[in-house]
Amino acid sequence: MNRSLVLVAVTAALALAACTSTPTPDNNATSTPTGTSTSTPQATVVTEVVTQTVTNPPVKPVIDSFGYGGLKLGMTLQQALDTKLIGPARPGGQPSDVCTTHDILGTGQWVSVSKRIGVANIYFSADMTADGVGVGGTEAALKAKYTNLTQRHMSTNWTTRTPENPSAWFDFTSKDGKLIQALLRHVDQDCHS
């Protein structure tokens, strides 16, 4: 049995030496001049993928007058789900409910989807905006960004028409100078009062 073990060890050592040894050059082979490298198509493909990723990183969605990235006001529930930006309906709603609520993935915010008009409200944080005006932002930044704000209901609720979409409003609620709620809402939304 020891003889078999020795034979296996010797065979493994020879195989390892064969894999790691430098092959002897073929006498008919042409040499490559020093300093010149050869490349394979595989190396080029890897370089292009790395370059593409570095120069064109994935675009992070942001809130605008129409929605959040590919998630737009008025989309049907299926269209909204197809964006892969929202999850399934949050538990607690009933099939007969007028609206369902869904988490906006990776944001801590949510969206309301109406059976009648589709995506009705998109709640957003400062991280989801290009200007930092959202939940977690300041009331001062809100007032600097939107000079046409009007107060709603109480002195801490603010609203303004969106700049490019006549069918939408931005609504904000502040407390102690901080924004505690921000949403983009469709003018015909029926998910909340």
The pLDDT tens digits for 116-172 are: 999 999 999 999 999 999 999 999 999 999 999 998 766 789 999 998 999 999 999
When pLDDT is cut at 50, 70 and 90, the band that residue 36 belongs to is low
Degrees (nearest 5) of the Cα angle 81, 61, 116?
40
Q: Residue for token digits 């009331």?
A: 139
Angle at the Cα of 65 from the Cα atoms of 124 and 171, rounded to 5 degrees = 50
Higher pLDDT, 192 or 34: 192
* 52's tokens: 């593409």
pLDDT in tens, 97-124: 899 999 999 999 999 999 999 999 999 9
Asked if 189 and 121 touch (Cβ cutoff 8 Å), the reply is yes
Q: Which domain holds residue 165?
A: 63-186
d(CA 24, CA 166): 76
Residue 137 placed within a domain: yes
Nearest by Cα to 102 from 113, 115, 89, 91: 89
Letter string b/e over residues 10-36, b meaning 16 or more CB atoms within 10 A of that residue's CB: eeeeeeeeeeeeeeeeeeeeeeeeeee
Domain count, the chain: 1
At 11, is the secondary structure helix, strand, or coil? helix
For residue 164, being part of any structural domain is answered with yes
Q: How far is CA 178 from the centre of its chain?
A: 25
Spatial contact of 127 and 107, defined as CB atoms under 8 Å apart:
yes
- Looking at the domain assignment, is residue 14 inside a domain? no
146: nearest Cα among 128, 159, 135: 159
Three-state DSSP at 183 gives strand
Residue 110 domain-assigned (yes or no): yes
Cβ-proximal residues to 97 (8 Å cutoff; 6+ apart), any chain = none
Residue at 69 is within a domain: yes
In a domain, 57, yes or no: no
- The per-residue pLDDT for range 52-94, each reduced to its tens digit, is 556 677 788 999 999 999 999 999 999 999 999 999 999 876 6
Copy the structure tokens of residue 193. 């009062």
Structural domain includes residue 49: no
For tokens 């737009």, what's the residue? 72
In a domain, 125, yes or no: yes
